[in-house]
Amino acid sequence: MPDQPDRPEQPDQPMFPASLKPVPGTFQWKLIGFSGDPAEAIPLLAEPWELELRQNFSRYARFCMTSARLVAHRRGHPVLTPFHLLLGLCESKLWDLHLLPAGPSSSLIAPALESLLEQESPALQQQWLQDPTLQQALAHAREEAHERGYPIVGIETFLVPDASLQRIFALAKDEARQHGAQRVSLGPLLLGLLRAVEEDLLPPSLQQLLARFGLSYAAVRSSLSDETFSL
């Protein structure tokens, strides 16, 4: 790996705006599992975070986020969290093929993570219900769906990243820049997640799970191949 410059204490500003309110008239109608041309499914002025993913994330990183969405969809979660991101990495098979082929297997991590997410789900749901920004965003989504005469709104059409996941994306962008990469790829995405541990942004239970599998920022960064910064 190239020389690793010292990490700045504060990376760039978050990639996503503070408000999660959708832009009127640009509601994303792409359904989970859509198999056609994404350009036809997502408007050019889609939600800011979706547009950011399309413009600044690599194909493999976007594939990971699609897997994370499917994880949330199966559980009826309207919000994407670091739990979903890590499960997306495991379930997309990118973990064993590209990220850490010699590290802990996704077949070991995924079941433990699924069980943990099951335990954490009630608390997460309660947290989302008490988040006024998220509730406002969902209200605007329902209004948009009603105006268009579309009967379904929610997890199939509307998923937002929570604050910790938005921070992970900002940290991942910083990692990519340090390695001279133009887009966030698999390596920076995982490192962004692990840097969030250092900032104490993840639930204690998730931090403990990562520690149990030896997934620390220092250990993973030293073992990632250069390829993971271009995939």
- With a pLDDT cut of 90, the percent of the chain lying above it is 30
In a domain, 78, yes or no: yes
* Domain-located, residue 17: no
CB 86 within 8 A of CB 112: no
Q: For the chain, what is the domain count?
A: 1
Residue 38: pLDDT over 60 = no
80: enclosing H helix or E strand: strand 79-80
Indicate whether 169 belongs to any domain.
Answer: yes
Res 49: pLDDT: 61
Mean pLDDT (the chain, rounded): 75
In a domain, 16, yes or no: no
204's enclosing H/E stretch is helix 204-212
- Asked if the structure places residue 20 within a domain, the reply is no
Structural domain boundaries, residue 132: 38-229
Task: Give me the pLDDT at residue 187, please.
Answer: 92
pLDDT of the residue at 79: 80
* Cβ count near 155 (within 10 Å): 17
- Residues 6 or more apart whose CB falls under 8 angstroms from that of 214 comprise 103, 104
Average pLDDT over residues 38-43: 40
Q: What is the reported pLDDT for 53? A: 75
Whether 93 maps to a domain, the answer reads yes
Q: Reduce the DSSP state of residue 118 to 3 states and report it.
A: helix
Q: What is the CATH number of the domain that holds 144?
A: 1.10.1780.10
Q: Which amino acid is at 51?
A: L
CA triple 20-172-44, angle to 5 deg: 45
* pLDDT, tens digit, 9 for 90 and up, residues 58-109: 989 988 888 888 888 788 787 889 999 999 998 878 888 888 888 889 999 9
Contact criterion met (CB below 8 Å) for 72 and 79: yes
pLDDT of residue 43: 37
**Cα distance between residue 90 and residue 103, in whole Å:** 12
Q: What is the pLDDT of residues 96-147, one digit of tens each?
A: 888 888 888 999 999 999 999 999 998 888 888 888 877 776 666 666 556 6
pLDDT digits (tens, 9 = 90+) for 200-214: 999 999 999 999 999
Instruction: Classify residue 21: in a domain, yes or no.
Output: no
**Structure tokens belonging to residue 117:** 């997410």
Say how far apart CA 114 and CA 206 lie, in whole Å.
Answer: 11
In this structure, is residue 31 part of a structural domain?
Answer: no
What is the bridge-based pairing of β-strands 79-80 and 160-161? parallel
